[in-house]
Amino acid sequence: MRFLIIGGAGFVGGNLAVYFSNLGHEVLCMDNLSRRGSENNLLRFKKHKNIKFMHGDARNKEDFDRLKFHPDIVLDCSAQTTAIDGYHNPIYDFTNNTLAVINVLEFCRKHRAGIIFWSSNKAYSAEFVNSIPIEEKNERFIWDSSADAVRGWSHQGFNEEADLNGGNHTIYGVTKNAADLLVQEWSVAYGIPAIVNRCSCLYGPYQFGKVSQGWVVWFALAKKFGIDLKFYGFQGKQVRDCLHINDLCDLIDRQSKGIGTHFGSYYNVGGGIENTTSILELSNKLDHMISGEHASVETEEPRRADQKIYISDISKVSDDFGWSPNVSLDVGLKNIIEWLDEKQEDFSWL
């Protein structure tokens, strides 16, 4: 197959490019290289003859017009991914995360290509997410064991029946929601095969994490290089499910093979109930896994729209694609630390 990967030099896009290249597929990566660290993926691509790169910006229709590549599937994993910064510059989020998707969809319509789109757990409002009763333990929040299931949530996590309405999605979340619905609408209206993945926390090698995005790898970076950390609210007891990039690549492979029967399908995607951690638990775990003295940890107030517990119910995506995560959090963290040890020179900018 022929894959066009939008945001192809980023963490998800770069790993997918290498994954599909290794399977013998033809890959073109398009990226504006706006995120620090993305240039390192260009060096990886040079080792793969069937990966091509084009410097381009999904916000510019003209960049699509000059593409001389006719893909079978477009993987749209480009975005402005920093959830909190959008309140300071909402137009930037909107142009990157919503308007750009119109260009991608029109390209798919013109070339009759399928699309797999990256949405977010921020599809669901923090008002709803935080309405589920919780208990506070020493290192994490847990859901109250006596809480009854409601539409969109059970003790397995948040499922696709959850309402997208309400405030406190973050500007990032709202712009991704708009794009999520646009992909579904274009798919049904114009017969474009399409799958939307509402992803929870993704992590793994070649993620150049920072405070506001890619926090699992950011914590590992901070521990290794002696950078101060901050817990934003809740004493670090907020919980997320985490999915290793290898498991995500496996899922996208399966979805790509079956995309012809999907028109506007949408899924909650993450590590699920078996792969969760609180921020505090992760910090303590990394203290034991990474040797040396570690910098201090400060506690700040919660940020707008922060979720106390978000865990993806992955039942639907698992059933539809015969897929489940295989990389445990402990194994995944070990994988990250080995990568950091090998690639220390790539972090001279820290």
**Domain spans of the chain, in order of start:** 2-347
Burial of residue 261 (CB within 10 Å: 0-12, 13-18, 19+) is: exposed
pLDDT digits (tens, 9 = 90+) for 313-331: 999 999 999 999 999 999 9
Decide: pTM greater than 0.85.
yes
- With contact defined as beta carbons under 8 Å apart, do 297 and 230 qualify? yes
| Percent of all residues in the chain with a pLDDT value above 90, rounded to a whole number | 80
**Cα 340 to Cα 326: distance, rounded to the nearest angstrom:** 22
Contacts of 193 (CB under 8 A, 6+ apart): 114, 115, 187, 259, 260, 261, 262, 263
- The CATH number that domain 2-347 falls under is 3.40.50.720
| 212 vs 36, more confident | 36
Q: Which secondary-structure segment (H or E) carries 278?
A: strand 276-278
Rg (CA), the chain: 19
Q: Which of 35-39, 115-119, 152-156 has the lowest mean pLDDT?
A: 35-39
Cα–Cα distance, 19 to 250 (Å, whole number): 9
For the stretch 259-277, pLDDT in tens is 999 999 999 999 999 999 9
Cβ 111 vs Cβ 44: under 8 Å? no
User: Pairing state of beta strands 309-310 and 239-244?
Assistant: parallel
* CA distance linking residue 94 with residue 108, whole number of Å: 20
- Greater confidence (298 vs 335) lies with 335
* Mean pLDDT confidence for 228-254: 95
Distance between CA 295 and CA 313 in Å, rounded? 35
Residue 28: the pLDDT is: 98
Overall average pLDDT of the 7-26 stretch: 96
DSSP 150: B
pLDDT at 83 over 60: no
In one letter, which amino acid is 300?
E
